[in-house]
Amino acid sequence: MTLKKHISVSKQIFIPIAALVLLAVFNLLVDPAFFKISLGHNSAGDPVLTGYLMTILDYGSEVAILAIGMTLVTAASGGQDISVGAAVAIAGSVILRILVGIGGDGSLRAPIFVGFLAACVVSMLFGAFNGMLVAVFKIQPMVATLILYTAGRSIAAWINNNELPIVTDKSFTYFGGFIPGIPIPTPFFLAVVCIVAALLALKFTNLGLYTQAVGINASSSRLNGINPVFIKWLSFVLLGLCVAVVGLIKTSRLSSINYSVIAKDIEMDAILAVALGGNALSGGKFNIMASIMGAYVIQFLTTTLYKFNVSSDALPAYKAVVVILLVVISSPTVKDKLIGLQKRMKQQKGGGQS
Amino acid sequence: MKENSVLEMRHIYKCFPGVRALQGVDFTLGKGEIHALMGENGAGKSTLIKVLTGVYEKDEGEIYLDGLDKPAVIRSPQDAQRLGISTVYQEITLCPNLTVAENMYIGRGTGRLTNWKQMNTDADRILTNLGIPAKAQQQLSDCSIAIQQMVAIARAVDMDCKVLILDEPTSSLDESEVEKLFGLMRDLRARGVGIIFVTHFLDQVYEVCDKITVLRDGQLVGEYVIEELPRVKLVAKMLGKELDDMEEIKDETNVYHGDDAYVFEAKGLQSEAGIKPFDFYIKKGEVNGFTGLLGSGRSECVRAIFCADKVTGGTVQMNGKPVKLTKPLDAMKNGIAYLPEDRKLDGIVGDLSVRENIILAAQVLKGFFKPFSRAEANAFADEYIKLLEIKTASADTPIKSLSGGNQQKVILGRWLLTHPEYLILDEPTRGIDIGTKIEIQKLVLKLASEGMSVTFISSETDEMLRTCSRLVVMRDRRVVGELSGFDLTQGKVMETIAGGDAS
Amino acid sequence: MTKAQTAKSGPASAKTKMTDTNLLLLITVIVFIIMYAGAMLFLKKGFLKPQTFLNILNANSALIITSCGMSIVMITGGIDISVGGVVALVSMSCAVYLDYQGGSVFGSLLIALGIGLAFGAVQGFLVAYLDIQPFIVSLAGMFFARGMTTIVHTAPFNVANEAFVALKGARILIPGLGTVTKAGKYVDAYVVLGVPVALLIVVLLFLVLRFTKLGRSFYAVGGNRQSALMLGINVKRTRFLAHLLCGLLAGIGGYVYFLYVGSGSASHAGGMEMNAIASSIIGGTLLSGGVGNIFGTFVGVLSLNTIQNIVSSIGLDDAWWTGITVAGMLCVFLIIQSVLLARKR
């Protein structure tokens, strides 16, 4: 039994790793240049590493950060938050509103961390709103978050009166780009900070145990003194925090914002990361590291598709196929059928030999 | 196939992962016969019925029906209906959002269209004939549970069935409704319908049934004509052992010897679950219990004590001091522990390991920011696995893969780990094997002798008589009496449950 | 209908409480009437003209059709968020077929139906027979449809096919409801071809849901899947058919949409799934399944657009108000439902 447990844990990490290896081998065979990393200089003259792998590390980090929160939401509520893309737009808009403001000249009116803190607060408030609909009013998460999914980008545009503030201060570009002297993209470090924070939270609090207990059996958790409503709500608030970080990265990349395009479809990637990490989308047990692995694997897939000149608009079609394959393979019905088939084949074999 | 039989099941086998639910069971039902299917929880009654009604597919064996020369193929509830087998389940299996008439007629017949007007008239006629106080066009969820159950029966009755299965239909009915149902069953018997009747109430078996088939541990014990099987023998057959094993823990404990300090006292306690306000107390080291029929409100009472349902009124004192309890955590902090009635729904956290399930409550009490270390958790888990002799491969095994009895022990361990002053056990022995039942009863008495106060609830009165020194009797969601000392006899309990109007 | 029956079955039924479906429908209808009457009283402007109302129908016949499909799926306890994507894919495919492949109008209609049925069948199979969460399945469906749309053709363009353009321009004049313009010229009120199609579908589905076995099975499955199975309903087939029907309606809706806009574009019908869900919910379809009404959905679509019209006519015509209004209205109705359900239990 102990052995079995080891297998089941390693199996969860195994899914994203296997997918990663598969993609890597594919790229290696088709074009080994995929793995080339070169040291260059960006427009400011600072040393930067470039290459497809760096792109994956860079953009995968956004998804990885969201995947942390999405994993918690999935585990606690048994559903997913599809409003994260729109929420990122809001967070970014808030940052720009604080830093530059409507009709600003692009110079910073407030320190960056103030803008970021404001974004954190606003994102967590919107997370709290989603969480309230789900936990208190017991609306299915994906439908509850549909509200913000629709309104989010409109709200983001409204915050800045539909203007597109531009930040001219160079230090703002560090978060989505490179810190002078460090050739590795900053989002990766931000992701590491978030991951470490998440792991510490799981280690030094009962967040993990409570979340899983609530996700598996809310009624039983309540009778053990856990407040399932609060835990579900909390997971959405924490996701809000992750959203704020991504909002910072996204706006920093552009030094501005495009309300209808920023973080478009990122919710799909975040959900996919959770699924690819082998976490049940119906909630319960979870593994944060597997989700994070999943996030980078998805970026790997995206980058590979880009390399083959798939346009960004057509990308969802390919990812949709991956999602469907994934959920079909992991669906209990299909699993049962496969096991049944295996048994029958074994029986036939046994029959043939005897 | 025998003459006069309407249904024969031969050598039925059915396995679930880890459980052999049915092992070569035979069952024969005659025309115009009411046949009781008896057995303890987990004996295989429900599985046999679900095989017959197409909910489960059997692994092996044959089912023969009157009028068919070949073995019947039943793969789905539709197949069963088509072959003239209709079923009324214990839990309501109707659609709450449809009307009464729709619930009676949906899923039947072959046409694409239905004459709804005709259907409503027909339904109203049947409801009137059976004396069911419901209207055809009423939404089902607006009816009481008992009426919903009656509607399910009306549906089954109207289907011109050859075989009617009643799976514990009486658990939510009151006496007059049960009488009505029995009248109905006798009518159908006269019309030649074979009726399979599953119930836990022995009285009812002896009142209406012609034959009894007893199952135990998925195997057939035997088929008996009712006159030839007195109650005591029936119980012995169901349990598979004579009553000696249980005798040893009888007697001396029935009188409470402790001091008179109240550990817990409630006045006028009332909850959302719809129980009448009740007073209750328990002393240190006392074992008492709530008794009453299913649905009499006994579970709701203890749920109110633990704040599992929202408390709407009343005052509570712990050790003489008034306390305000509003949620389970408050109760836990005051040293109350509660093992819920529905183990699957309210007790276990299925996918979590045995270890996590054991430490859960204690962990919650310790606090969100103070998780147990791995070593501590392991130590606790090992301690209780050993203490309660929990049969599990390891502490890492998910609790859902344990047997019912062992799951129950894990939950018990969880609450013992919180070292409660007052332990509430709601049906701790339901659906678990007899050996574990006795172990749990012994444990209760041992805990009480060590000073813990325990409230014990069980559907089996003798179990309660054996463990409790005081019984609170419930009827219709109201406390109707309290028994202790020499009044603690089966007869007296029954009498109190039945109440004055019955005698 | 219900009233007539209640009256006939005598005084005993007078006590019978209203079913959830009718209660929610009533709320919706009242809200809509108050809203429209209020607009007529206080805002006047266009609301007094019959054509304003007809224009809501003209612009939303596609939404009405897709919302009907959505309602059916939601009544069985599922959801389908791929409909907007399917509508876009249908528009683009038909546009490309008509202008680049020299296809006929009839052929394009077949393409529309084929795409709708294919999406419905695949999604229905995954949901009903493999028991995968409908949301995930249709989320993938939505992304697949959107992605495929750009793969079929990237740039948006207007269809030039003559037969099609003639069909697109066809108007059904309604005598008696016309208005007199400032120049003193009498203008007939009109509806486009999509409107009768949408109305026909509403009536047809209303009857199907109310009077056929299949219709009642949808409700039964949504009310309690396990019970429905025990009552002898083929639950899997019922769920499959609901999704198939929804896909088919998305196909038809897609064609009606195409007929209205007359172009193919990857950004067509953006957020239509959202509007369809919102219309269903406002129309009294319960998210948890088992309760809903096609007529309510129809009123839901009208309410949704009326409130948008009101919002823009009181001066809040910035683009973002639409999204916020829809979301706000949806939020209110969701909470009404949630509270209503909590009260019942």
Q: Is the pLDDT of residue A131 over 70?
A: yes
Contacts of C274 (CB under 8 A, 6+ apart): A146, A149, A150, C81, C84, C326
- Answer with the residue of higher pLDDT: B177 or A61: A61
Q: Is the pLDDT of residue C35 over 80?
A: yes
If you count them, how many residues does chain A have? 354
Q: Is the pLDDT of residue B243 over 60?
A: no
The predicted pLDDT at position B111 comes to: 63
User: Do C58 and C195 form a contact (C-beta atoms < 8 A)?
Assistant: yes
User: Does the distance separating the beta carbons of A139 and C338 come in below 8 Å?
Assistant: yes
Q: What is the mean pLDDT of residues B405-426?
A: 92
Q: What is the mean pLDDT of residues B386-403?
A: 86
Phi-psi region of B421 (alpha: psi -120 to 50; beta: other; left: phi over 0): alpha
- Averaging pLDDT over each range in A56-65, B8-17, B196-205, which range is the top one? A56-65
The predicted pLDDT at position B134 comes to: 83
Name the H helices within chain A: 2-30, 52-77, 84-99, 112-135, 141-159, 186-204, 207-216, 218-223, 228-254, 266-276, 288-307, 315-330, 332-353
Written as six digits, the tokens of A124 are: 């967590």
Q: What is the mean pLDDT of residues B245-268?
A: 66
The predicted pLDDT at position C244 comes to: 97
User: Do B438 and B249 form a contact (C-beta atoms < 8 A)?
Assistant: yes
Interface check B348 vs A, CB under 8 A: yes
Q: What is the mean pLDDT of residues A318-330?
A: 82
The predicted pLDDT at position A186 comes to: 93
Q: Is the pLDDT of residue B394 over 80?
A: yes
User: Do B459 and B442 form a contact (C-beta atoms < 8 A)?
Assistant: no
The predicted pLDDT at position C340 comes to: 75
Residue A110: phi and psi, rounded to 5, are -145, 155
Contacts of B197 (CB under 8 A, 6+ apart): B34, B35, B36, B37, B166, B185, B204, B205, B208, B209
For C200, counting Cβ atoms within 10 Å of its Cβ (0-12 exposed, 13-18 middle, 19+ buried), the class is exposed
Closest-CA residue to C189 (of C180, C198, C197)? C180
Mutate which of B354, B356, B360, B423 to test chain A, going by most A C-beta atoms within 10 A?
Answer: B360
Cβ-nearest to A216 among B332, B350, B365: B350
Among chain A residues, the shortest Cα distance to C323 is held by A151
**Closest chain B C-alpha to C210 CA, distance in angstroms:** 9
Interface check B25 vs A, CB under 8 A: no
- Answer with the residue of higher pLDDT: B432 or B391: B391
User: Do C84 and C278 form a contact (C-beta atoms < 8 A)?
Assistant: no
The predicted pLDDT at position C317 comes to: 67
ipTM of the modeled complex: 0.84
| Residue B254 binned pLDDT confidence (cut-offs 50, 70, 90) | low
Q: How far apart are CA B170 and CA A208, in angstroms?
A: 44
**Segments making up each domain of chain C, as ranges:** 50-270+287-294
Please state which of the ranges B51-60, C11-20, C137-146, C185-194 shows the lowest mean pLDDT: C11-20
The predicted pLDDT at position B71 comes to: 84
Helices A112-135 and A84-99: angle between axes, nearest 10 degrees: 150
Mutate which of C119, C139, C149, C343 to test chain A, going by most A C-beta atoms within 10 A?
Answer: C139
Interface check C224 vs B, CB under 8 A: yes
**Closest chain B C-alpha to A215 CA, distance in angstroms:** 9
Mutate which of B364, B400, B425 to test chain A, going by most A C-beta atoms within 10 A?
Answer: B364
**What percent of chain A shows pLDDT beyond 90?**
47
Contact partners of C by the rule of 3+ C-beta pairs under 8 A?
A, B
Please state which of the ranges B99-103, B436-440, C90-94, C117-121 shows the lowest mean pLDDT: B436-440
Q: Is the pLDDT of residue B298 over 50?
A: yes
Written as six digits, the tokens of A25 are: 């081998």
Q: How far apart are CA B419 and CA B452, in angstroms?
A: 9
User: Do A38 and A48 form a contact (C-beta atoms < 8 A)?
Assistant: no
Q: Is the pLDDT of residue A352 over 50?
A: no
The predicted pLDDT at position B112 comes to: 61
Written as six digits, the tokens of B197 are: 């009747």
Q: Within its chain, how far is the Cα of C126 from the centroid?
A: 23
Which residues in chain A have Cβ-Cβ distances shorter than 8 Å to C147? 313-320
The predicted pLDDT at position B428 comes to: 87
DSSP state of C186: E
Q: What is the mean pLDDT of residues A198-222?
A: 94
Q: What is the mean pLDDT of residues C58-63?
A: 93
Q: Which domains does chain B have, with CATH numbers?
A: 5-242 (3.40.50.300), 243-335+421-503 (3.40.50.300), 341-419 (no CATH)
DSSP string, B318-342: ETTEEE---SHHHHHHTTEEEE-S-
Q: What's the whole-model pTM score?
A: 0.81
Q: How far apart are CA C207 and CA C295, in angstroms?
A: 10
User: Does the distance separating the beta carbons of C344 and B106 come in below 8 Å?
Assistant: no
Written as six digits, the tokens of B162 are: 């050859």
Contact partners of A by the rule of 3+ C-beta pairs under 8 A?
B, C
Q: Is the pLDDT of residue B27 over 80?
A: yes
Written as six digits, the tokens of B207 are: 């009142």
Cβ-nearest to B364 among A217, A219, A224: A224
Q: Is the pLDDT of residue B175 over 80?
A: no
Three-state SS at A325: helix
Q: How far apart are CA A297 and CA A303, in angstroms?
A: 10
User: Does the distance separating the beta carbons of A282 and C151 come in below 8 Å?
Assistant: no
Please state which of the ranges A211-215, B122-126, B380-384 shows the lowest mean pLDDT: B122-126
Q: How far apart are CA A130 and CA A122, in angstroms?
A: 13
Q: How far apart are CA B171 and CA B293, in angstroms?
A: 8
- Answer with the residue of higher pLDDT: C88 or B393: C88
**Closest chain B C-alpha to A35 CA, distance in angstroms:** 40
**What percent of chain C shows pLDDT beyond 90?**
40
| Residue C14 binned pLDDT confidence (cut-offs 50, 70, 90) | very low
User: Do A47 and A181 form a contact (C-beta atoms < 8 A)?
Assistant: yes
User: Does the distance separating the beta carbons of B328 and A224 come in below 8 Å?
Assistant: yes
What confidence tens digit (pLDDT) does each residue in B180-217 have? 788 888 888 888 889 999 877 777 888 889 999 988 88
Contacts of B350 (CB under 8 A, 6+ apart): A216, A217, B344, B398, B399, B400
Q: What is the mean pLDDT of residues B315-332?
A: 91
| Residue B431 binned pLDDT confidence (cut-offs 50, 70, 90) | low
Q: Is the pLDDT of residue A126 over 90?
A: yes
The predicted pLDDT at position C3 comes to: 38
Q: What is the mean pLDDT of residues A130-149?
A: 89
Interface check C218 vs B, CB under 8 A: no
The predicted pLDDT at position C41 comes to: 83
Q: Is the pLDDT of residue B240 over 70?
A: no
- Averaging pLDDT over each range in B224-233, B396-405, C42-51, C153-162, which range is the top one? C153-162
User: Does the distance separating the beta carbons of A331 and C132 come in below 8 Å?
Assistant: yes
The predicted pLDDT at position A200 comes to: 95
Which residues in chain C have Cβ-Cβ distances shorter than 8 Å to B133? none
Q: Is the pLDDT of residue B264 over 80?
A: yes
| Residue B246 binned pLDDT confidence (cut-offs 50, 70, 90) | very low
Q: Is the pLDDT of residue B218 over 90?
A: no
* Angstrom distances, CA of residue A7 to CA of A12, A285, A297, C35, C38: 9, 15, 21, 61, 65
Which residues in chain C have Cβ-Cβ distances shorter than 8 Å to A328? 126, 130, 132
Q: What is the mean pLDDT of residues C107-129?
A: 95
Q: What is the mean pLDDT of residues A90-116?
A: 89
Interface check C300 vs B, CB under 8 A: no
Interface check A312 vs C, CB under 8 A: no
The predicted pLDDT at position A11 comes to: 65
Phi-psi region of A45 (alpha: psi -120 to 50; beta: other; left: phi over 0): left
Cβ-nearest to C150 among A150, A313, A324: A313
Rg of chain B, C-alpha, whole Å: 24
Rounded (5°) CA angle B137-B133-B112: 35
Rounded (5°) CA angle A47-A48-A53: 160
Closest-CA residue to B272 (of B235, B339, B327, B324)? B327
The predicted pLDDT at position C345 comes to: 54
The predicted pLDDT at position B202 comes to: 73
Q: What is the mean pLDDT of residues A34-62?
A: 86
The predicted pLDDT at position B238 comes to: 75
User: Do A218 and A127 form a contact (C-beta atoms < 8 A)?
Assistant: no
Q: How far apart are CA B134 and CA B148, in angstroms?
A: 9
Closest-CA residue to B453 (of B336, B365, B340)? B336
